[in-house]
Amino acid sequence: MTDEPRETWPGQPFPLGASYDGLGTNFSVFSQVAESVTLCLIAEDGTEERVPLTEVDAHCWHEYVPGVGPGQRYGYRVEGPWDPANGLRCNSRKLLLDPYAKAVTGEVEWGQEVFGYDFDDPDQRNDLDSAGKVPVGVVHSPYFNWGDDRLLNTPLHETVIYETHVKGLTMTHPDVPERERGTYQGLAHPAVIDHLLDLGITAIELMPVHQFIHDGHLADKGLRNYWGYNTIGFFAPHADYSASGTTGEQVQEFKGMVRAMHEAGIEVILDVVYNHTAEGNHMGPTLSFRGLDNQAYYRLVPDDRRHYFDTTGTGNSLNMAHPYSLQLIMDSLRYWVTECHVDGFRFDLASTLARQFYEVDRLSAFFDLVHQDPIVSQVKLIAEPWDVGEGGYQVGNFPPVWSEWNGQFRDTIRDHWRGEPHTVPELASRLTGSADLYSDETRSPVASINFVTAHDGFTLRDLVSYNEKHNDANGEDGKDGESHNRSWNCGAEGETDDPEVLALRARQQRNLLATLLLSQGVPMLLGGDELGRTQGGNNNAYCQDNEISWFDWDEVDEDLLEFTRRCIGIRREHPVLRRRRWFFGQEIRGNVDIEWYKPDGAAMEDHDWEGAPRTIGLYMDGRGIRSRDTRGRPIIDDSFLLLISAEPDPIDWQLPEMDGAWVVELDTALPAGVADEVRTVTDDIELVPRSTVLLRFRPADEDGADER
């Protein structure tokens, strides 16, 4: 530690964080309970220069330090009350990370030093110094050449989301230079972007890139927090994903990745974890928020303020009733949009954010702030609409401007294709946008983010290969992960050489993908499903930062990849498959926009829905679209008949009597979904067991021949 005094100026309380202006840096941090706050400027050898923050406005402690610029490491020490029973946990012996740090370097070295209590006597305060054992903030340069970059604002009904992981997607890609693998730079590599473009993806949804830590219990087992749902820095791109450095370079590299994606026409959506932090429960470490102002940042149990109110299953929940917690979240969201140009957010366990008090409240302060914010309200907002607390399952209950991960879509589609009875009525709802969940005067089909698989669960290939989870590598005796997966192994558990089982699995993957990509709503594809990616039956690979989770680019299912391309291409080319408005079953321009059919060619009546077989036909009239295009003109498209059969035996479908013929656009009985030559049918078509066929109607007077 140096004793040489440093010149400081009063500075400003806002913005919070470390703000470099070209000559020096303004430091500001919030604490309502602090008695004093000291800024620690950390040299490369770990020595600290301590600068008291003497200015306080609105509970924000601040000082401007001339000559301090990008690359400077820093943290805070807070002197204040230590009274855990009343929710107070200040301890100046703990070096604290700035909640507003735009860049973070270093990892937690797990030991007694990073905890505020004594391992042998948890009621006793521990005064070991945590410096050198915890991550610290880094002053970064805010300057970046964005050129003419802007938010893409791709309409939701034209959006196809690809959920992926920075490291997993790129770690083994043969065309990405080795030093760039697993990084933002690798994600921006032309080979990766070309794959996404070739597939037809319009938006990538990145699993958490906010700075996170690796849990101590995982480190003890030689594992790492791969998924990243353990945030400690809500403004900082995770440093481990940087190829260029961790002292501010990660910020520039992240921005460069976003710019490259935008140049390719691909939006960037961040999976964000504002519901809790990495500090865990009352037995967790003191890294940042806990030591700054425990009561302000965290929800505490009202009658036992030693403990945390936990609706996340992680040990803590952020205090959504406190104005500075809400400000932290809103400041973070605005930062990622305005300074990093991201196009939207997927909110992990979003119901927790709506718990201003106890219940999930559609009128909570968080929703009010989001809806009123001129920046945040204009980007894509996607909720994971549940948490683990009472009343936490809120599918369909989020307010306007929000879309939601539709877990009921996932469950219904899985149940149908594994052969569960009586799924057809609900299947019909899911195919048409889940109007039973989202149909009111303020929402439309794009409120539903449709998915069959996601990071949390089986991959597509594993969904058709395993009845049971196989999570031995996680070291939790198989107790972790979901046990009821609605999966079906098609006759053999795991790897097999049985050609019949393999053929059925391949067809089932195509069925699931076709149902996902041809349904109304916004489809989300789990990254790697198009390649046939497997995790060996592990449905909870949160700690597997290795080949279990990484994409295997040497083992690509080329037929499945081509099939996925075709499904997305058909969706892109035909607006009847991605409507902005609900079907009404009414005449529009003289045509009924939607109709349901039975295998005998007759339209379904009300009584047909009860006890219906596991097969259904959906007719969508391309002349019955209520919406207009961007120039106000009527939208006229081809008409389609989607035939879906989860029956174990072949089904002979009588096609509706219409003046023309039907062209087979997609058939999941075929490896790539389509034959080499155009196939036209007029009267009937046989569906092989467990298959999907998409037919396009060609009127009798239509000129010209179809081409592939």
* Residues annotated catalytic, as ranges: 348, 384
3 membership: H or E segment, kind and range: none
What residues contact residue 326 under an 8 Å CB cut-off, 6+ apart? 320, 365, 366, 369
What residues contact residue 136 under an 8 Å CB cut-off, 6+ apart? 42, 73, 74, 75, 95, 97, 101, 104, 105, 106
Q: Please write down the long-range contacts of 475-480, taking CB distance under 8 Å and 24 or more positions apart.
A: 475/221, 475/223, 480/540
Q: What's the burial of 588, exposed, middle or buried (CB within 10 Å: 0-12/13-18/19+)?
A: middle
Q: What angle do CA 460, 464, 466 make, to 5 degrees?
A: 110
Distance CA 659, CA 699 (A): 6
Contact predicate 35/292, CB 8 Å:
no
Q: Name beta bridge partners: 233.
A: 211
Q: Which of 451, 446, 431 is nearest to 529 (CA)?
A: 451
Distance CA 294, CA 318 (A): 10
Distance CA 234, CA 278 (A): 11
> What DSSP state is assigned to residue 21?
-
Q: Which of 98, 87, 418, 15 is nearest to 288 (CA)?
A: 98
Q: Tokens standing for 678?
A: 């155009």
SS3 content of the chain, % helix, strand, coil (to 5): 25, 25, 55
Q: Tokens standing for 467?
A: 């009845």
Residue 44 CA to chain centroid, in angstroms? Answer: 36
Task: Give the strand pairing for 24-30 and 60-66.
Answer: antiparallel
Residue length of the chain: 708
Distance CA 7, CA 23 (A): 13
Q: Which of 249, 262, 458 is nearest to 344 (CA)?
A: 262
Phi, psi dihedral angles at 641 (to 5 degrees):
-125, 115
Q: What's the burial of 629, exposed, middle or buried (CB within 10 Å: 0-12/13-18/19+)?
A: exposed
> What DSSP state is assigned to residue 528?
T
Distance CA 682, CA 660 (A): 7
475-489 burial, b if ≥16 CB within 10 A, otherwise e?
Answer: eeeeebbeeebbbbb
Distance CA 275, CA 109 (A): 25
Contact predicate 468/537, CB 8 Å:
yes
CA distance to 18, 103, 148, 201, per residue, from 27 (Å): 5, 14, 31, 41
Q: Could you give the angle at which helices 499-517 and 558-573 cross, rounded to 10 degrees?
A: 20
Distance CA 387, CA 53 (A): 39
Q: Give me the sheet containing 691-699, strands edge to edge.
A: 594-597, 615-620, 640-645, 691-699, 660-667, 680-681
Contact predicate 91/125, CB 8 Å:
yes
CB-hemisphere CA count at 13 Å for 600? 7
Distance CA 409, CA 630 (A): 29
